[in-house]
Chains A and B, each alone.
Chain A
Amino acid sequence: MHSTRHSHLKRLEAESIHIIREVAAEFRNPVMLYSIGKDSGVMLHLALKAFHPSKPPFPLMHVDTTWKFRDMIKFRDETASRLGLELIVYTNQDGVKRGINPFDSGSSLHTQVMKTEALKQALDKYGFDAAFGGARRDEEKSRAKERVFSFRNAQHAWDPKSQRPELWRVYNTRVNKGESIRVFPLSNWTELDIWQYTMMEKLPIVPLYFAARRPVVMRDGAMIMVDDERMPLKQGETPEMKMVRFRTLGCYPLTGAVESSAVTLEEIVAEMFTARTSERQGRVIDHDENASMEKKKKEGYF
């Protein structure tokens, strides 16, 4: 079934394009969740390839918690305007009013309200019946178990114990009113694949992935960057300028940096080969509780 005449990345690329086209052809109202990171960048690029010379027949949507790195927001807006794509930015205004933030509310509540709830609100508001996400199976144990086309009930919940069988590349895209499907075109990509592809295709990425001198403080074993004046410093905490970069991007108070001198894509990839920890290690939200990701996904998290 698989031909080795094609290089590894070309094979992955074709598989993802197939998935993306299938969604455009079968769903009434799909959307691509764009989270600005390297995986989203690859996914978006694949969508451009899938429909060329047409534009992707769906909008991009970013669920903005208002706590993303400033560089991310800039990159997001530049990308949408450079490509001429429709971009929906959604924020849970109720959460903003309640003053939910990662410092006082805790990472768990913040993520629940500003990411999970916000996403559900946005999907309901626009009536999207399919949403692309850039998640990969190598990221996390419960992701490794998820289908490419992952069914969500009308409450946006995932039931990992009764997933639809998924054979060959024949995807069951049928949903009733209110139900939806999360689609993961990058399911079979690894972190290394993403970087290699980014390099091969010369894709622009948020500068935060490259090492630079940035102000950071140590908190609970993670290096947190002081990205704006909203970050309350604890007694005795003084931001230190360090040469750091980020392996994943999210809300700045919840994303740990790594010390690095990698200032080119080549150096980032080279660094990966010597990495002894996974990229998610820098994410504060995954360590909250056991089987954390599965729990969040059952509740509607991407």
Chain B
Amino acid sequence: MTAPLDLKAYLAQQENKSFLRFLTCGSVDDGKSTLIGRLLYDSKLLFEDHLSALEKDSKKFGTDGENIDFALLVDGLEAEREQGITIDVAYRFFATDKRKFIVADTPGHEQYTRNMATGASNSDLAVVLIDARKGVLTQSRRHSYICSLLGIRHIVLAVNKIDLVGFNQVIFDDIVKDYRAFAENLGFASLVPIPISARYGDNVISRSPRMPWYQGPALLDHLNTVDAESDLAARPFRMPVQWVNRPNLDFRGFSGTIASGAVRPGDAVVVAGSGRTSTVARIVTYDGDLDEASAGDAVTLCLADEIDVSRGDVLAPAAARPEVSDQFSAHMLWMAEDELLPGRQYLLKVGAKTVPAQVTELKHKVDVNTFEHLAAKTLHLNEVGYGNVSLTMPIAFDPYRDNRDTGGFILIDRFTNATVAAGMIDFGLRRATNVHWQALDVHKRARAGLNHQKPAVLWFTGLSGSGKSTIANLVEKALFAEGRHTYILDGDNVRHGLNRDLGFTDADRVENIRRVGETAKLFVDAGLIVLVSFISPFRSERRMARELLAPGEFIEIFVDTPIEECMRRDPKGLYEKAVAGEIANFTGISSPYELPETAEMVVKTQGRTPQDCATEIVRFLKKRDIVP
């Protein structure tokens, strides 16, 4: 057993090792998992029980005959072992005398690109594997592009399976040349090509005698010495406030992790969103107050003044503030099966802040093979695009290239709660900071008072042919007869004018509803009761329209008619055409209708006259005090 003195020295050495997080990526079957298995095995980091399990597994699942299949060390999921592929990212830990490593082994299949991005987002270096027999493939390019997008600056180009091409230098050189040609625009600070055989260990831990022509370092030597450190500590101070610490009336602190820069007691700071300033009074930790805290530290700051600070605010130096805006342009990697719908409301989370957001304009998507910009109206799973994002309120942020913590965001679907996109902010849009709301003297309440009614939107939703327009028409007639001020926005009529440029794709339907929602809002502002008669098949868009208005102003009326009945009525002959395949994206036939879950009123039409339905609605409006 080691003497205690040696142990102390050993532990001190452990503590002071430098640290590198990297990922392995590249196309499927290029040997990523095998390489990591080899690194763990050769650096003697495997326990005996792990080894014996590996030997057992190799016999059962192994793809390498009698030999140990190192990939089985990291492919930990049952489905992965059965299929011999990597589905999700695995994190493994190992250390050398100099460094500790966390390596993310990421999947090569295009289908699982989002898992590769997960691994890349926290890495400082990428080992891109290439099969020497196949050369640079689409996935090699895709992964390199995503690494670049996520801000990775250091690349190792590991040309693997070099044994299978007879350790041929010409093949190696050609692949390196190919790779450099496309990678030169990806902004990598270092690119180190190494010929390896992960299976046999050539140039992995030490230089291989089988490739005397190769003069560079073995992979592990390079990982041990590469300087992949960022200069985060030298950048301006940023701390997104995670949690307001208030144990009693005498203490109010702001807890968070410092994203960049450093802070000392006495430093002047500004709450980026509100512009209020104060100075740092104390840096509080469980282990006592600190004289200084810097990037990466999780601390609690007390300020000298009682100013309003809450979760999601960003503390920064007054002289080097982050941008504050409700619009910015960003790169986005789409990670959901459901396509991006510009205009749809998602939740955006950046740092500790979550706000409703929409992609207002998609400028282009990127062809990962040629890096060409292609026109796009939407993004599908694993596609990368660039566009404008608009928020319901301004937030503080930095460009992603300056700060991953304050410039990287995710988009969340409001219904499924799935993480649908990763975004990298490029820059804030000036327009947002310069267009201010015009304050008007005659306001909504005044106009409504003159009309003796509460302005509201009656939002009729339902299938085509359900009776929405007929009923809305009768309701308007009844209200008009009582002297109310009303207006009808009808789906078909609006599509002849305001929305003439829109078709019936999902993306266009979202924009259709957005415009109608905004128009209805203006009419409500004018004091009117607005009757909107739109199929509006998606919950998200109905919710978006609802959220444009004040509470109580939006009355969703679900005109509930079974599709069989709508098809029987078929007033415009549309179902017949849709069933015959002559109309694409027809709601109920080839495009979904999502049933309302929060409708204020459900009006069943079957076996009733439209007049009967209209009378029921007017009665409801009186009960709600919309009309006297």
**Chain A complexes with chain B:** yes
Render A32-65 as a binary contact track against B, CB cut-off 8 A, 1 for contact: 0000000000000000111111110000000000
| A141-B76, A142-B77, A164-B419 known; A53+B19 contact, CB < 8 A | no
23 cross-chain CB contacts under 8 A: A1-B151, A3-B230, A21-B242, A21-B298, A48-B286, A49-B285, A49-B286, A51-B243, A52-B284, A53-B247, A144-B76, A145-B88, A160-B77, A164-B418, A167-B117, A170-B408, A174-B347, A179-B417, A188-B93, A270-B1, A274-B1, A280-B49, A294-B77
Is A188 touching B351 in the complex (CB atoms < 8 A)?
no
Say which size band chain B's interface belongs to: 35 or more
Kindly state whether residue A83 has any CB partner on chain B within 8 Å: no
Q: Which partner residue on chain A sits nearest B114 by CB separation?
A: A165
Render A184-213 as a binary contact track against B, CB cut-off 8 A, 1 for contact: 000110101000100100000000000000
Please tell me which one of the listed residues B2, B245, B296 contacts residue A6 in the complex, with CB atoms under 8 A apart: B296
Kindly identify, within residues 255 to 279 of chain B, every residue whose CB is under 8 Å from any CB belonging to chain A.
255-257
Interface centre among A2, A49, A161, A273 (most CB of B within 10 A): A2
Return chain B residues, CB-CB under 8 Å to A166: 118, 121, 419
Q: How far is the CA of A273 from the CA of B287 in the complex (A)?
A: 29
| A1-B404, A141-B76, A168-B404 known; A14+B412 contact, CB < 8 A | no
CB distance from B139 to the nearest CB of A (A): 18
Q: How far is the CA of A12 from the CA of B300 in the complex (A)?
A: 17
Number of A-B residue pairs having CB atoms within 8 Å of each other in the complex:
211
Q: How far is the CA of A192 from the CA of B93 in the complex (A)?
A: 11
| A11-B296, A172-B349 known; A145+B90 contact, CB < 8 A | yes
Please tell me which one of the listed residues B117, B122, B286, B405 contacts residue A165 in the complex, with CB atoms under 8 A apart: B117
Interface residue stretch chosen among B9-17, B167-175, B362-370:
B9-17
| A25-B311, A167-B118, A266-B7 known; A2+B230 contact, CB < 8 A | yes
Is A165 touching B87 in the complex (CB atoms < 8 A)?
no
B residues neighboring A (CB under 8 Å) = 1-2, 4, 7, 10-11, 14-21, 47-50, 73-79, 81, 87-93, 100, 102, 114-115, 117-118, 121-122, 124, 151, 229-230, 232-233, 242-243, 245-247, 251, 253, 255-257, 284-287, 294-298, 300, 311, 335, 347, 349-352, 404-405, 408-410, 412, 417-419, 422
| A14-B257, A174-B417 known; A22+B76 contact, CB < 8 A | no
CB distance from B286 to the nearest CB of A (A): 4
Is B117 touching A1 in the complex (CB atoms < 8 A)?
no
Is A294 touching B78 in the complex (CB atoms < 8 A)?
yes
CB distance from A27 to the nearest CB of B (A): 12
Q: How far is the CA of A147 from the CA of B90 in the complex (A)?
A: 9
Return chain A residues, CB-CB under 8 Å to B91: 137, 144, 187-188
Main secondary structure of the interface of B (DSSP, over half): mixed
Return chain A residues, CB-CB under 8 Å to B15: 7-9, 196
Please tell me which one of the listed residues A15, A49, A145, A275 contacts residue B47 in the complex, with CB atoms under 8 A apart: A275
Q: How far is the CA of A3 from the CA of B11 in the complex (A)?
A: 20
Q: How far is the CA of A281 from the CA of B50 in the complex (A)?
A: 9
Is A11 touching B2 in the complex (CB atoms < 8 A)?
no
CB distance from A194 to the nearest CB of B (A): 12
Is B422 touching A53 in the complex (CB atoms < 8 A)?
no
* Supplied contacts A174-B347, A271-B1, 11 more A-B pairs, CB within 8 Å: A2-B229, A3-B295, A21-B255, A53-B284, A145-B76, A172-B410, A261-B1, A274-B1, A277-B49, A281-B47, A291-B77
CB distance from B490 to the nearest CB of A (A): 35
Is B422 touching A188 in the complex (CB atoms < 8 A)?
no
Kindly state whether residue A267 has any CB partner on chain B within 8 Å: yes
Interface centre among A141, A160, A165, A280 (most CB of B within 10 A): A165
Is B19 touching A8 in the complex (CB atoms < 8 A)?
yes
Q: Enumerate the 9 nearest inter-chain pairs by beta-carbon distance, A residue then B residue, closest first.
A: A141-B76, A17-B298, A174-B417, A167-B121, A52-B286, A54-B247, A49-B286, A278-B47, A14-B298
Is B412 touching A174 in the complex (CB atoms < 8 A)?
yes
Say which size band chain A's interface belongs to: 35 or more
| A170-B351, A276-B48 known; A160+B79 contact, CB < 8 A | yes
Is A172 touching B412 in the complex (CB atoms < 8 A)?
yes
| A52-B284, A160-B77, A167-B117 known; A4+B18 contact, CB < 8 A | yes
| A49-B286, A168-B122, A168-B404 known; A22+B89 contact, CB < 8 A | no
Is B77 touching A137 in the complex (CB atoms < 8 A)?
no
A residues neighboring B (CB under 8 Å) = 1-9, 11, 13-15, 17-18, 21-22, 24-25, 48-55, 137-138, 140-145, 147, 160-161, 163-170, 172, 174-176, 179, 187-188, 190, 192, 196, 199, 261, 266-267, 269-271, 273-278, 280-281, 291, 294-295
Return chain A residues, CB-CB under 8 Å to B247: 53-55
Q: How far is the CA of A270 from the CA of B89 in the complex (A)?
A: 32
CB distance from B278 to the nearest CB of A (A): 20
Return chain A residues, CB-CB under 8 Å to B417: 172, 174-176, 179
Is B16 touching A7 in the complex (CB atoms < 8 A)?
yes
CB distance from A228 to the nearest CB of B (A): 29
Is A168 touching B405 in the complex (CB atoms < 8 A)?
yes
Please tell me which one of the listed residues B14, B76, B79, B233 contacts residue A5 in the complex, with CB atoms under 8 A apart: B233
Return chain B residues, CB-CB under 8 Å to A275: 47
Is A276 touching B47 in the complex (CB atoms < 8 A)?
yes
Interface centre among B93, B245, B351, B408 (most CB of A within 10 A): B93
Q: Which partner residue on chain B sits nearest A201 by CB separation?
A: B287
Return chain B residues, CB-CB under 8 Å to A291: 77-78, 81
Is A1 touching B124 in the complex (CB atoms < 8 A)?
yes
Return chain A residues, CB-CB under 8 Å to B422: 165, 167
CB distance from B294 to the nearest CB of A (A): 7
Interface centre among A15, A17, A143, A188 (most CB of B within 10 A): A17
Is B77 touching A165 in the complex (CB atoms < 8 A)?
no
Q: Which partner residue on chain B sits nearest A51 by CB separation?
A: B245
CB distance from B82 to the nearest CB of A (A): 10
Interface centre among B251, B253, B419 (most CB of A within 10 A): B419
Is A144 touching B352 in the complex (CB atoms < 8 A)?
no
Please tell me which one of the listed residues A13, A266, A295 contacts residue B4 in the complex, with CB atoms under 8 A apart: A266
| A167-B118, A278-B49 known; A144+B90 contact, CB < 8 A | yes
Is B48 touching A161 in the complex (CB atoms < 8 A)?
no
Is B87 touching A50 in the complex (CB atoms < 8 A)?
no
| A8-B14, A14-B296, A161-B79 known; A170+B87 contact, CB < 8 A | no
CB distance from A191 to the nearest CB of B (A): 10
Return chain A residues, CB-CB under 8 Å to B1: 261, 267, 270-271, 274
Is B93 touching A138 in the complex (CB atoms < 8 A)?
yes
Is B102 touching A281 in the complex (CB atoms < 8 A)?
no
Q: How far is the CA of A123 from the CA of B350 in the complex (A)?
A: 29
Q: How far is the CA of A195 from the CA of B91 in the complex (A)?
A: 20
Please tell me which one of the listed residues A4, A18, A160, A270 contacts residue B298 in the complex, with CB atoms under 8 A apart: A18
CB distance from A219 to the nearest CB of B (A): 17
Return chain A residues, CB-CB under 8 Å to B251: 53
Q: How far is the CA of A179 from the CA of B284 in the complex (A)?
A: 35
Is A3 touching B229 in the complex (CB atoms < 8 A)?
yes
Q: Which partner residue on chain B sits nearest A167 by CB separation?
A: B121
Q: How far is the CA of A51 from the CA of B88 in the complex (A)?
A: 33
